[in-house]
A and B are shown apart, each in its own frame.
Chain A
C-alpha cells in the first residue's frame, strides 16, 4: 500500500523472495500475504517507486526499451573476436565443474602445442593464482583473472587480460573459465568454441543436469578415462546424454594423466588453428590495428 496515505490494497502482494525483503521495511509482514509463483501473478502496478506515489501529479508513462541484457558483454565479446581474427589466433573457452581436471588437461595440452605454436592462457578463478602458476611452469605465458565473488568470466575481463599476452598468427589462446557448469554458459567471451570438460568420476547424467552448458559447447572432452576400470561409469550413456541436449556436439575421450586420446584432441585444435608464421614473434601489438 501507499506509505504516504495508506491507500491501495489491503494486503501486501509478495511475488517472490526479493519483494518480501524490499517491501519489508515499508510494510511489515502480517502473515496475511498471498504468495504467488514467480512469473504468473504480477505485482500491483498501483504501488509506485519505493511504495510511495503522489496524488494528482503526472500519470505514469511507458517508455519502450527493447534492449538486450547481455548487449554490453556481447559488444566486448565482439571486440575480442575481432582482435583474435586480426591476429589469426584461435580462442577456446574451456568450461567444466571444479575438479574435472581442466588445469591438468590444459598443462599437458599447452606443453605439446607450444612446441609448434604461440600459446597463451587466461586463467579464471575466484581466488589464488595457483592455476596460472601451473601453466607458467611449462613456459607458456598466462594471466590470472580473479573474479572475487563472481562465478564466471565476462568479456571485458578477458579484454583486459589480453593486453599482457602474445596473440600470433596460427596461435592458440585458451581461456580456462571459473569452474562452474551454470553461469559461464551465458557469457560469450569472443571465443571460437566452448569446450566442456566432464570427468568419469562425475555422473553420466551431468549433460542432462546442466543442459545450457552442454548445448553451448561445440566439443565435450570426457576426461580421466584411465580411471574407467575402477568405476561404474557408463561412458556411452554419457555421450548419448550429451548428444541428447546437443545433437551436433563432438565428443572425445581423453586422459590428461596418461595422454590417452590426446592425439585426437590436439588434432581437433590443429584443424581449427590458423596457419602459423615461420618465425614466432612476441606478438604483443599484433592485435592492435
Chain B
C-alpha cells in the first residue's frame, strides 16, 4: 500500500499550491500516472479520499491520465508502445525493451475556487 504515501504527497502538493494561490477550496485534481509507474489506481483513489479529509482538497474529484508505457525495442531499433512490464514487443515479440516512458507520477493541475 505505497499508494497511501503517494496520496499524502498529492495532498501536500495540492495544499501547498492552493495556499500559494489564495487558499481556496480545491474542486478537482488532475494527475498523470503512467501505466508503468507501479501504482494501483483504485487504491490510490481510496487513499486520496482518506488522506484529503480536513484538507483543502477534501471532496475534490480526482482525474487521472494514464499514459501508456513507451520502450525502445533493441531488435526492431524503434520506439514501441506497451502497457505492462512483462509484455513483449508488439512487432517482433522480443523482451529486449528499454523503458523510455510511462513511469511518470505527478500532479498536473488543480481546479480551485
| Chain A contacts to B: CB under 8 angstroms | 15-19, 21-22, 38-39, 42-45, 47-51, 53, 57-73, 150-152, 154, 182-183, 185-187, 208, 211-212, 215, 243-245, 247
Contacts and interface: CB of A to CB of B under 8 A. Distances in A.
Of A18, A62, A212, A243, chain B has the most CB atoms within 10 Å of the CB of A18
A17 B45 contact: yes
Interface in B58-108: 58-64, 66, 74, 84-86, 95-99, 104-108
Given A63-B17, A67-B13, A45 B84 contact: no
B96 A247 contact: yes
B93 to A, nearest CB: 12
B6 A69 contact: yes
Of A21, A60, A61, A65, chain B has the most CB atoms within 10 Å of the CB of A65
Contacts of A154: 5
21 contacts: A38-B45, A42-B63, A48-B27, A49-B56, A50-B25, A58-B113, A60-B112, A62-B111, A63-B110, A63-B111, A63-B112, A65-B13, A65-B108, A67-B17, A70-B9, A186-B39, A211-B84, A211-B86, A212-B85, A215-B85, A245-B86
Contacts of B38: 182, 185-186, 212
A245 B41 CA distance: 22
B108 A64 contact: yes
B10 A69 contact: yes
Interface residues of B, number: 56
A182 B112 contact: no
Nearest to B26: A49
Contacts of B112: 60-61, 63
Contacts of B14: 65
**Main SS at interface, chain B:** mixed
Contacts of B37: 186
Contacts of B106: 65-69
A61 B6 CA distance: 25
A244 B47 contact: no
Interface of B: 1-2, 5-6, 9-10, 12-14, 17-18, 21, 25-28, 36-39, 41-42, 45-50, 56, 58-64, 66, 74, 84-86, 95-99, 104-113
B59 A69 contact: no
Contacts of B2: 151-152, 182-183, 186-187
A244 B94 CA distance: 9
Contact of B95 (A19, A48, A64, A244): A244
Nearest to B5: A154
Nearest to A245: B85
Given A67-B13, A69-B13, A152-B2, A48 B113 contact: yes
A18 B10 CA distance: 15
B1 A17 contact: no
Nearest to B62: A43
